[in-house]
Amino acid sequence: MAESEHEADPGHISSPDAEPLKLSDLLERGWKIFDEVDSTNEPLASTVVQAKVQRGLRMLEEASRMVAQLDLFSRNEELEEVATADLKYLLLPALLGALTLKQSGRDRRLELLLAAEARFTDFLRRSKDYNVAQFELPRPTDENTGSEGEPQNGLSTATAASSDLVSLAAKRQAKIERYRQKKELESRLSDVRRAVDSGQADDEVCRDFYLLNVKRWITVCLEEIESIEQEVEILRRMDVPRPGGAPQPAPAIRQAFKPFILTKDRVQAQVLGAGYPSLPTMTVDDWYDQHRKHGVLPDQGIPGNVAAEEAETQEREEEDEGDNNEALMKARNWDDWKDTHRRGYGNRHNMG
């Protein structure tokens, strides 16, 4: 079918006086809007960006309705039977899912995630039907766990843990392989894009260009679905009420932060007289009260105390002097006695 026949209903996108957009224009404009939003430096929640997102969604949704009405794709045909000009419309569900994720709104986040996942799954299923690339379709999010988040089929905890480890290893290997394929596809796309943009590409080059885009978006959608599953699980756990309707615990009150001093600084301050040891420990009034209690202030009779101490000292010196005189007399008497008595004089007991 010629592209000139793929025209949109003017009531949906364009004004009544404007010429209706063709299907190819709707796709190209919606695709361009996604590229602008995906590479913008403005906040995603800004009014300007969200207006672009809504405009791109309207164009791509209108294009999807036209594709369904025209019945461009069928599960009973092979990829070789699809016209080259129609291959690019395989990307519509993927672009719709990617733009859906660009919408803001925390209260609608879960709804937007599930809607985007449905778009990505639709794109992957159609790509699988046409055998564009070899990959495994991911299971829907609601089938990954049971009603209460427990492993299905009554698996034991040990079996489930072992299965999880194997699954994680397989997912990691698949992610590495997807990353390698994505980089390879992007490199090939950059080469083919130059020929297509120049307008000199033949039908075979254009077909290769669109198929490379579809293959690249297959890797993107698989990554996005994996991220969606993780985010959906987190959001659902946040919304699950606690058993018995117990209220959420109040946030703990943070203790006031107490300043501290490092050991090195503390020792240095004690040695050099800087820091906390140099701070005053009492006021002048406290010092006065403390000395008044001990009776050591000038107005509490300190001169009298000094006189008493001096008298006591003089008395002690006189006693010492008396003792010295007595000792001197004894020494002199002993010397006199030794002059008049020879040695051993008084030691004649029991000598016959």
Per-residue pLDDT of the chain (352 residues), as tens digits, is 444 445 544 444 555 556 778 999 999 999 999 999 999 999 999 999 999 999 999 999 999 999 999 999 988 889 999 999 999 999 999 999 999 999 998 899 999 999 999 999 999 999 999 999 888 888 776 655 444 444 445 455 556 666 777 777 777 777 787 788 888 888 888 888 888 888 778 889 899 999 999 999 999 999 999 999 999 999 998 876 655 555 566 666 666 656 655 566 566 666 655 555 555 667 888 888 887 887 777 666 555 455 556 667 777 777 777 667 788 888 888 888 777 777 766 666 665 5
Main-chain phi, psi angles of 309, to 5 degrees: -65, -40
Distance (Å, rounded) from C-alpha 96 to C-alpha 102? Answer: 10
**What is the spatial distance between Cα 220 and Cα 215, in angstroms, rounded to a whole number?**
9
Token duo for residue 123: 């794109």
The Cα 205–Cα 89 span in angstroms is 17
Residues 6+ positions from 54 with CB-CB distance below 8 Å: 103
C-beta separation of 59 from 22 below 8 A: no
Question: If we measure between CA atoms, which residue out of 130, 34, 31 comes closest to residue 75?
Answer: 130
Domain ranges of the chain: 263-340
Cross-strand partners of 22: 7
CA end-to-end span of the chain:
168
Identify the burial level of 54 via C-beta atoms within 10 angstroms of its C-beta, where 0-12 means exposed, 13-18 middle and 19 or more buried: middle
Helix (H, G, I), strand (E, B) or coil at 22: strand
Helix axes 47-70, 92-101, angle to 10 degrees: 160
- Indicate the DSSP class of residue 294: T
Residue 88 backbone zone (phi > 0: left; psi -120 to 50: alpha; other: beta): alpha
Q: 7 - beta bridge partners?
A: 22
In contact, 34 and 98? CB cutoff 8 Å: yes
Question: 145-187 pLDDT, tens per residue?
Answer: 444 444 445 455 556 666 777 777 777 777 787 788 888 888 8
List C-alpha distances in Å: 40 to 106, 109, 213, 251.
21, 21, 21, 38
Q: Rounded CA gap, 118 and 97, in Å?
A: 8
